[in-house]
Chains A and B, each alone.
Chain A
């Protein structure tokens, strides 16, 4: 039996006990899982970013109150009580980590990937962000400040990457396709449009 089999058996036992005690309804658990696998993901955040790139008034509202602004697009709920949008600029690159656990803005990015929750990422990002970003494929120029946001309380940060050059003619959907999950955590920048 693999370690994963042992875990699966224990989880099954716990779930069956919780169902008997009324602490869980398995059919609703199915729906919760389905929701977080299919309804909620980085595409939500990409829509928010694309809107901020094209609508200056929305960008202002997003930077002033992230939760209210993303609610305009219908996004909100658990881990979204205080969404804070932080904008990358030519002077500052922003990147997000949670050193104490795994805080992450679920309504706009979905559930966090394993690497974000790993001991390696959590320990290193606050102490050697340039080196770690470089290993992850992003060399931040020495002329730019690196600002690391450690999510420790209510705020859940959404990085608004810089809009790539040559995207003036693109529509909202095409712009959103340039915005990856990594770019909204801050370990990448927005993709260049394919000519």
Chain B
């Protein structure tokens, strides 16, 4: 399945990159609010670490024109979709608020202690520098996706592999342009939570993630530029031996 978020090598998106080396992080105040609200809400709803897989999947499901609008609009529409699915927002509630109608009765509300805990957790990282042990060990464990596994890796550095011929429906971190293509394992990043499953709310065992190198010619054939290579991290279940 292709989604428009899977953009690598898709000529329909080609065009000039409007590049500004000094571009600021935000261009309008609404962008600031969307960014801050999304980061905060993620902390409240997922005290054990933000669920970026579900957040990305939500963004992949919004209408194409919303996805291609100024960047943080994608975050807002994705956040709204996630909150509706979890019944934090009711359908039509945002429109009613815009129209100045009275709030809809009922609806879920976070306990005050939960909001306060998220605020406290945010306070720990909102500093110019953070203590070394926290940055090196605690934060990656708390918010990162890496997990331990007792299983042995299926592949090792140097193995010739091929990306499986089908791209999963739903959320996946297997780009379309690598699908079915031959590559070589150049690194093992250890095991991590499996994004495809987490985005769908399925439990799943951690999977090894490998860095795979693809020669430009294997990806693009005759059109490839000389002496180019793409390296990308791929979950074990995306790969087959060749």
Contacts and interface: CB of A to CB of B under 8 A. Distances in A.
A148 B230 contact: yes
Interface residues of B, number: 107
Given A23-B44, A23-B88, A128-B225, A150 B175 contact: yes
Contact of A28 (B28, B122, B195): B122
B128 A39 contact: yes
Interface stretch (A52-60, A77-85, A161-169, A171-179): A77-85
Interface in B114-135: 114-115, 118-119, 122-123, 125-135
Contact of B130 (A18, A37, A77): A77
A120 B7 CA distance: 9
Given A39-B128, A80-B139, A123-B9, A150 B23 contact: no
Contact of B143 (A11, A78, A122): A78
Contact of A81 (B97, B110, B144, B229): B144
Interface of A: 4, 7-18, 20-25, 28-37, 39, 41, 67-68, 70-78, 80-82, 97, 99-102, 107, 110-111, 113-115, 117-124, 126-132, 135-136, 142, 144-155, 180-182, 187-188
Interface of B: 5-21, 23-30, 32-37, 39-41, 44-45, 50, 56, 59, 68-71, 73, 76, 79-80, 83, 88-89, 93-94, 97-98, 103, 107-112, 114-115, 118-119, 122-123, 125-136, 139-140, 143-146, 173, 175, 177, 189, 192, 195, 209, 211, 219-220, 223, 225-235
Task: Kindly list the 7 A-B residue pairs having the minimum CB-CB distance in the complex, ordered from nearest.
Answer: A76-B135, A74-B129, A81-B144, A99-B8, A22-B110, A29-B36, A71-B135
